[in-house]
Each structure stands twice: as structure tokens, then as C-alpha cells.
Amino acid sequence: MASWFGSIGVGIAVGAMGLLLGGWLASEAVDWYRIPSREGGSGYFVAFQALAALVVGAVIGVVVSRVVVGGGGTQLRALLLAGGVHVALLAMVGTVARLMADVPPTFEGERLMLAVEVSWPEANAPTLPSGDILPYIGLSAASGSTVRVGRQGPLWAADARHENGRLIVPGAVEIFTSRGKRLLFVNTGTRDKEDGFELPLPAYPGQAQRTWSDWMPHARAGEPALPDGIRYRFRVVKRNEPIRTQAVGAFTIGTVARAFTESRYAAITSDYAADADFVVHYKGKPLTVEGRTTDHYIPDPWKPNEGPPADAAVRYDRIIAVATVPGADPALVVEVEYSDSHFRSAYHYLLQPDGERVRTTFVSASGSDRMARRLSRAPADAPPEPAHARQGYVDERILAVPGLYLFPRAVLDTRTRTVQPLPLERSDDEILKIGPLSLSPDEKHFARLIRASDNSNAMRIEQVTIADNARRTVPTGFAITSTGDWHDADPAYFDHYFAWEAQAGGGFQVVPRAGANRLPHRGSLRESVGYREYRLSQGLESLREALIAELVKAFGAERVPTQPDAFARQVRINGELFNLSQGEDGEIVIWMENHDNTLPMVKLSRHLDSVLATRRLDAHFKPAEAPP
């Protein structure tokens, strides 16, 4: 019996050792295989593998102990032998896992990016993009003749240049593995059409790969020259160094990217977003953004006796976003990150050329939404305000039109480059993220949509005075958006229902527009990858049948028989099946099942919007409130 107790003790000891070593190996495998932490995935993986190593170790300990003791050996010898067997087993498992993993190489302790330049003769140079997808640089790893895995990164058409009769376009991609043969792919924007090359990149790049390679491919020694076609060259860049450099006036901005991901907004691919910081030089000298501790101070209404902090200089180590301010002498607005032992936050600063130095002006604390929203009405030929920020890019769009811009707690005039602090409330309310609806003719006030103070679903138009943050509100009443969704309120909505009225004592006030009728109904097309749906709100029970009749008339739709109590009615157009459902609240939803091609939904939605604009289907919607 005593020997059994000893064997169990050996099993416990070897199992405990296995628990520790197995957990450590599993935690390393989390990095090797990039197991996501979402919903505890990586934690569960480590725990399961550690427990498995414990159980296997305990079994090995007990079995070896019984064999050794049965042969006349001691429990100490059994412990050492069982421990060695389990360590050897774990080492073999770990070695195989490491060899099979795509572990990124490093140089001087830093992971690596691949900078690439692609060249075409100008006579045969492609238009970028050449089709309906994003141009990209692809890097893949192959085992034998099989491509196992790959990554993609941007091909920066905006940085294209012409040299010696050739078009040269730079790009970049993450070096994600040291395993296997590396292949480079170039796609100019046409799906399933790319040029591929075997990339002479060693598994562990060194100093020799830090400078530009020769242009490749090229003929081997003694062979005829290759036809004049696509060429490429590459170099390796550490992830703490700029992978892209752009000049804006006297400023030079380097993008320090750690990874690229393809960003999608709705069903449309927008761009390759970058996990990136920025380094800025002014006239060739590195620039550090400096501010004051008092820049950060926001009075806390719950602590009225707490004053601002002691004034002191603050140096910001990270620039996490950059936007350009156009003009004869371009300026920048940068977003910097500040962190200490208590909190982390971000702020916007205006950087203006001032001779040989840069004048730094605090603009605003950063918000959870994009950097700024346009207040001034843009000229008709101006580019539209971007719907989304371009993460990891120098943003040349968001402040492109000269005028007033609303930041989370300030207004910036990019014409005079002056800042007016405006202590707006800090909120994640989606309604406030809609942005300003209108600017008064004297540019002293702006209007925006807010929720009613009673926390109901009612909305108000709020007039904000820029100079002193004074507020007044106007009920929206019958002023409903075309879609019935408040998130679709925009300047056109404001102009239809409201106006700026000049006051006898000077200034302007928001007033309801006299004689305004309700806007025509319009649907909302919602998009995601492989799916589109068209929604209409405020419909009466008759609306679905009226829409089906319109589809029959306009597209020759064929009604598909359905049960009277079916959730959706169905029609078939050119062989494609469309579903029409109607909820108890009157909302109509038209959709196609998940499909490779949902473009027919776009055509259908545009047609129905054009019909709704004529108002001939208004009788099938719930009546609006009477105008004031």
C-alpha cells in the first residue's frame, strides 16, 4: 500500500510539472498561431492544454513508478525518470508545434514589414484601381507547390511617380512567417488577376535586406533580357520605422505601421486600414508635440471645488492620427496620446509653420467619433464630407474644404487657423454623432439634433452659440426624416423643415419653415458582405401589396405562391427571388437571401425611391402630424 501512495505522489508531482510546462507551451502557441482572445478563446486554449499536460503527466508518473518500484527501484528514481519522459514528450510536442507555426521573423528584436515598389513601362501601365477591388501587394508562404497562407497590404496609387519612362507605385505588406518559400503577388484592382513572383527573401532577413534590392525579375547571366514588363524591388523595414513617407508643405510625415487590415464599410471595401503611429519632421528636423497640463482640464460638475492642475509642460510620445489643413503654407492637425499611471486619453493640436519653428495650438480633447465634422456649407463642386476616418492614413479629406469645423470641444476655422473653445458635453449618444445640421449665415451658431430632456424618443433641434455655448431648442414636431430614422437627418432635412431667421437686435435663430410639407418617403438600403436589404418605415398594411404591384409593373415580377400566414411574400425577378416582410410597426423589409450577387437589390431600391419621390404611394403610409 505504501508503494501505491508513493506512486500516486510521483503522479501528482509529474502532473504538476506538466501543468506548468504545458501551460507555458500553450501560452507560446497562442502567439505562434495567433489564437484570438475574443470570448476567452486563448484563455480556454491555455487552460485546456495545461490540464491535458497535467493528466498525461500524472498517468506517466503513476505508470513509471509502478514499473520502477516493481523492478526494485526507488520512488526517487521513478520521479526523475517519469519527469524526464514527460519533459521529453512536451519538448517534442512543442518543437513540432513551433516548426509548423507561421512565426514572424525579427531583426534587432523588432518584427518586420516588407516595403515594395512595383514598376510598369508607361505605355502599358495600368489604371489604379483597374477594376472593382482594392489594389494590393500580397505575400504568401508555400510548402512545395502549395500556397498555405498569405497576407495582403496596400498598393499606394496616391504615391505613384514616373521615372525613366516607367510608372512606379509603392506598397507594403507584413512579413508574417519565417516558414516556407515566399511568394509576392501584385494586383492592380481586378479580381482574380494578379502577377506572381518567387520572392528571394531569406527566412530570417538581416542587414543585407534593409536596402533596396535590384529590380526583379531579371535574366540570368548569359541569357537574353526579359521582355519589358512588370518589375519589382523590395526592402525590409522594422515595425518601429516608417514604412511610408509623405511630404505636406514643409512637413514630412512617416507612417509607422504594425499591420494592415482590409476595412469594409457596409458591403463596399473602403481601404486597407493600418495599425499605425506617425512621426513628423519639419524642414528636416524631428518634431515633438508639446502642450500644457492645463490643456487637459475639464471642470467636473460633481467636484465644483476642484480647480485646474498646476500648469506644466507635457511632451507627447505618440501621434496616432494626422489630418492636413490645405493652404499656401499647409498646416497639420494631429491627434496625440497622453498616458500616465492613472489614465490614457488623446488630444488634438494644430501645428502651423512659423518661420523656422512650428507654432502649436491646443484644439480639443479627442472624442470617440471621428476627428471633426464640417460646419461650413461646402461649395457645390467640393468633395463630400468623408463618412469614415481612414485609420492609419494621413487624412487629406476631412479638413479639405476651407471653413469652420466642429471638434469634440472646440471649433477650428481653417481659413484663419484660429480655435474657439466650445465645452460641449462628452457623450457616446449616437444621435450627437450625426453631426451639425446647419451653420447660421453669420457663422455664430450651429444647429444639431438632440434627444428631448425627458428621455423620450422625441427629438429637438438645438441651436448652439459658438462663442459662449448658449443653447436654445426647437421642437421637431412633424419634421420627420424621409426614412423615418433620425440617424438620416442631414443638412437637406434641416433646410426643408427649418430656417435661420434674422433677429431685430441682430443675430439669427432657428425657426420652423413656414408651409413645409413632410419630406417624401424614402427607403434605407442596408448592406453587409453578401447581403443587402431595403427598409421602409411608417407603412400601412396596404403598403406591401402596393410595392409588389409596382415591382410587377416595373420589372415584370412574378408572384410566388406563399401561405397566407407566411412571414414574407415572395416575387421572382429575372430568376432571382425577393422577399417582402412587414412587421407590426408597419416596417417593410425587402431582401434577397445570402447571395454572391446582391446588386439587383441596389437597382430595386433606387427604382422604389424614385417612385416614392413622386408621392403617389403616400396613401399607403401612416399620416404625419399636422405642421405648426
> Please, what is the average pLDDT of the chain?
87
Mean pLDDT of 556-579: 89
**Total residue length of the chain:** 628
Sheet of 418-421: strand order equals 373-374, 404-407, 410-413, 418-421
pLDDT digits (tens, 9 = 90+) for 406-432: 999 999 999 999 999 998 887 777 888
Helix (H) or strand (E) holding 91: helix 75-100
Worst-scoring range by mean pLDDT, 292-301, 433-442, 615-624? 292-301
> Any idea where the domains of the chain sit in the sequence?
2-100, 106-239, 242-424, 427-519, 524-620
Query: For residue 446, what pLDDT band results from cuts at 50, 70 and 90?
Result: very high
pLDDT digits (tens, 9 = 90+) for 180-236: 889 999 999 888 888 999 999 999 999 999 999 999 998 777 777 777 889 999 999
The amino acid sitting at 131 is: G
Which pLDDT score, from 0 to 100, does residue 595 have?
Answer: 62
Which pLDDT score, from 0 to 100, does residue 268 have?
Answer: 47
Which pLDDT score, from 0 to 100, does residue 31 have?
Answer: 77
Mean pLDDT of 134-145: 87
Complete DSSP assignment for 210-238: GS----BS-PPTTSPPPPS--EEEEEEEE
Other Cβ atoms closer than 10 A to 197: 16
Instruction: Please name which of 396, 170, 376, 314 lies closest in space to residue 386, comparing C-alpha atoms.
Output: 396
Beta carbons within 8 Å of 39's beta carbon, 6+ residues apart: none
Instruction: Please name which of 377, 484, 389 lies closest in space to residue 436, comparing C-alpha atoms.
Output: 377
Which pLDDT score, from 0 to 100, does residue 456 have?
Answer: 61
Which pLDDT score, from 0 to 100, does residue 261 have?
Answer: 84
Worst-scoring range by mean pLDDT, 49-58, 194-203, 468-477, 526-535? 526-535
Which pLDDT score, from 0 to 100, does residue 267 have?
Answer: 43
Residue 269 pLDDT > 60: no
Which pLDDT score, from 0 to 100, does residue 339 have?
Answer: 75
pLDDT digits (tens, 9 = 90+) for 79-93: 888 788 888 888 888
Which pLDDT score, from 0 to 100, does residue 18 have?
Answer: 79
Which pLDDT score, from 0 to 100, does residue 75 have?
Answer: 78
Worst-scoring range by mean pLDDT, 101-105, 247-251, 346-350, 473-477? 101-105
Mean pLDDT of 361-389: 84
Residue 138 pLDDT > 70: yes
User: CATH assignment of 524-620, given 2.60.40, 3.40.1580, 3.40.50, 3.30.310?
Assistant: 3.30.310
Which pLDDT score, from 0 to 100, does residue 445 have?
Answer: 96
Residue 455 pLDDT > 70: no
The amino acid sitting at 516 is: A
Beta carbons within 8 Å of 465's beta carbon, 6+ residues apart: 444, 445, 471
The amino acid sitting at 385 is: E
pTM of the model: 0.82
Query: For residue 263, what pLDDT band results from cuts at 50, 70 and 90?
Result: low
**What share of the chain in percent tops pLDDT 70?**
94
Which pLDDT score, from 0 to 100, does residue 14 have?
Answer: 80
Cα–Cα dist 592/530, whole Å: 10
Cα–Cα dist 110/210, whole Å: 13
pLDDT digits (tens, 9 = 90+) for 36-52: 776 677 788 888 888 88
Mean pLDDT of 149-172: 92
Helix (H) or strand (E) holding 81: helix 75-100
Give the bridge partners for 314, in sequence order: 291
Helix (H) or strand (E) holding 418: strand 418-421
Residue 627 pLDDT > 60: no
3-state secondary structure of 43: helix
The amino acid sitting at 247 is: A
CB distance 117 to 223 below 8 Å:
no
CB distance 371 to 398 below 8 Å:
yes
The amino acid sitting at 176 is: F
Which pLDDT score, from 0 to 100, does residue 266 have?
Answer: 44
pLDDT digits (tens, 9 = 90+) for 222-247: 777 777 889 999 999 999 999 999 99
